[in-house]
Amino acid sequence: MLNVRDLKVHFPVAKAGFFARRQVVHAVDGASFEIPRSKTLGLVGESGSGKSTTGLAILRLIKPTSGEITFDGRTLGDMDSETFRAMRRRMQIVFQDPYSSLDPRSTAGEIVRFPLDIHALGSNAERKERVAEVFSLVGLRPRQMDLFPHQFSGGQRQRISIARALVLQPEFIVCDEPVSALDVAIQAQILNLLSRLRDELNLTLLFISHDLGVISHICDEVAVMYLGKVVEKAPRHALFRQPLHPYTQALFSAVPTRNPKLKGAVKRIRLQGDIPSPINPPSGCRFHTRCPIAQARCRSEEPQLTEQASDHLVACHFPGQDISVAG
Ligand SMILES: Nc1ncnc2c1ncn2[C@@H]1O[C@H](COP(=O)(O)OP(=O)(O)O)[C@@H](O)[C@H]1O
Ligand code: SF4
Ligand SMILES: [Mg+2]
């Protein structure tokens, strides 16, 4: 359904002074993955690893620097604007913060109806009917259509965002941290809603989250991102049973153990330091500055994503080592 090949998104940043060199943020720096139809790929990684930029670039809300994105067999980059517009109807996004992404001056009904107006679809009565339909689909009541975003709870606001994303009957949705701003109890409700909608409507999802606990609830496959690159990708069960990249192992070790799904994978590892700046990413393996088992080779030679087990890809020169002792 979706195929992303060597995607790069570089942002030029303002020079510090007249003689300073022009700098570039390597937000996404060669990310590759694919998502089969009706499947959900989880994209996980620390804040700043390039997850949101990847999602925005897929929908062309940001222009990629290079790389190829194909959707349903068609390359998105070289379409004329009309073809792309038709394609874009099939791809939608739900953002993390349902407050800033909903216009406070529009009613919930207007917000959900807006995409139908933009694409000039249906008569007035048909649009009304469609909005009522998606309202009930996401568990909102038709009489709530006339309320404004601030009159809803956080969870309900996220239901409005989901309704807006669904109104054009898309096939693919990027969910960018859709529950990260919500209380844990509400998170479960929204995750259940998304899983149910995915199954009922046969949706393909790119589900972005920094939280492996959230990822464990909804994804078929998981891609782990570090400093703009995918460092490990595997079916969810394989990844949770045996994470092979030292960074993925460290991510698991940071998850509270009360989640029984994660128990097997959890070991105690302390990563040193913060994620380095994407302006000058480290040479060789980008993780070498924090990796507890880094060797000389890791500083000079960049590891490529290679298959270590069936469908289990890892970019590391020494995959699968138990790093809990070294850390
Ligand atoms: N418009 C932009 N201009 C410059 N830098 C950006 C821009 N958007 C994102 N970045 C930088 O790119 C990196 C990746 O950001 P982002 O994709 O938001 O990561 P994530 O979603 O994983 O937290 C970060 O270092 C961020 O500061
Ligand atoms: S390539 Fe080296 S530095 Fe990178 S994750 Fe593997 S062992 Fe660590
Ligand atoms: Mg983000």
Instruction: Sort strands 66-71 and 2-13 into parallel, antiparallel or unpaired.
Output: antiparallel
Over residues 18-24, mean pLDDT: 80
Q: From residue 169, give the alpha-carbon distance in Å to each of 34, 111, 189, 203.
A: 22, 16, 22, 9
Residue 27: nearest ligand to its CA? 1
- Annotate 262-277 with b (16+ C-beta within 10 A) or e (fewer): beebbeebebeeebbe
Over residues 254-271, mean pLDDT: 60
Q: Are 59 and 76 in contact (CB under 8 A)?
A: no
- Coil/strand/helix, residue 132: helix
Q: Work out the burial of residue 134: count CB atoms within 10 Å of its CB; fewer than 13 is exposed, 13-18 middle, 19 or more buried.
A: buried
| 298 touches ligand 2 (CB under 6 Å) | yes
| 47 touches ligand 1 (CB under 6 Å) | yes
| 293 touches ligand 2 (CB under 6 Å) | yes
| 287 touches ligand 2 (CB under 6 Å) | yes
**How confident is residue 326, by pLDDT bands cut at 50, 70 and 90?**
very low
| 282 touches ligand 2 (CB under 6 Å) | no
* Mutation test residue for ligand 1: of 10, 11, 286, the one with most atoms within 8 Å of CB: 11
The yes-or-no verdict on residue 327 having pLDDT over 50 is no
The yes-or-no verdict on residue 322 having pLDDT over 80 is no
Expressed in angstroms and rounded, the spacing between residue 238 Cα and the centre of ligand 2 is 20
Tally of domains in the chain: 1
Residue 148 lies in a domain: no
Q: From residue 321, give the alpha-carbon distance in Å to each of 221, 247, 248, 282, 294.
A: 22, 11, 12, 22, 11
Residue 105 lies in a domain: no
What confidence score (pLDDT) does residue 21 get? 76
Q: Are 242 and 235 in contact (CB under 8 A)?
A: no
- Predicted TM-score (pTM) of the model is 0.92
Contacts of 45 (CB under 8 A, 6+ apart): 51, 210, 224, 225, 226, 251
Over residues 184-241, the pLDDT tens digits come to 889 999 999 999 999 999 999 999 999 999 999 899 999 999 999 999 999 999 999 9
Over residues 267-300, the pLDDT tens digits come to 566 677 788 999 999 999 999 999 999 999 999 9
Residue 84 lies in a domain: yes
CA-based nearest residue to 210, from 176, 243, 239: 176
Residue 244 lies in a domain: yes
Give me 239's structure tokens: 């990844």
| 11 touches ligand 1 (CB under 6 Å) | yes
* Mutation test residue for ligand 2: of 245, 272, 317, 323, the one with most atoms within 8 Å of CB: 317
What confidence score (pLDDT) does residue 323 get? 74
Residue 109 lies in a domain: no
What confidence score (pLDDT) does residue 23 get? 86
What confidence score (pLDDT) does residue 233 get? 97
Expressed in angstroms and rounded, the spacing between residue 306 Cα and the centre of ligand 2 is 13
Residue 287: nearest ligand to its CA? 2
Q: Ligand 1: which atom is nearest the Cα of residue 177?
A: 21
- Coil/strand/helix, residue 204: strand
Enclosing domain of residue 177: 2-90+170-261
| 53 touches ligand 1 (CB under 6 Å) | yes
Q: Ligand 1: which atom is nearest the Cα of residue 54?
A: 17
Residue 133's H or E segment, with its range, is helix 124-137
Over residues 61-104, the pLDDT tens digits come to 999 999 999 999 999 887 888 888 888 899 999 998 767 889 99
Residue 281 lies in a domain: no
Q: Work out the burial of residue 219: count CB atoms within 10 Å of its CB; fewer than 13 is exposed, 13-18 middle, 19 or more buried.
A: buried
Residue 58 lies in a domain: yes
What confidence score (pLDDT) does residue 100 get? 80
CA-based nearest residue to 4, from 51, 80, 58: 58
CATH for 187: 3.40.50.300
What confidence score (pLDDT) does residue 16 get? 72
Over residues 43-68, mean pLDDT: 95
Give me 138's structure tokens: 């996401």
What confidence score (pLDDT) does residue 79 get? 82
Residue 311 lies in a domain: no
Residue 136's H or E segment, with its range, is helix 124-137
Residue 14: nearest ligand to its CA? 1
Expressed in angstroms and rounded, the spacing between residue 51 Cα and the centre of ligand 3 is 6
What confidence score (pLDDT) does residue 84 get? 87
Going by alpha carbons, the residue nearest to atom 1 of ligand 2 is 316
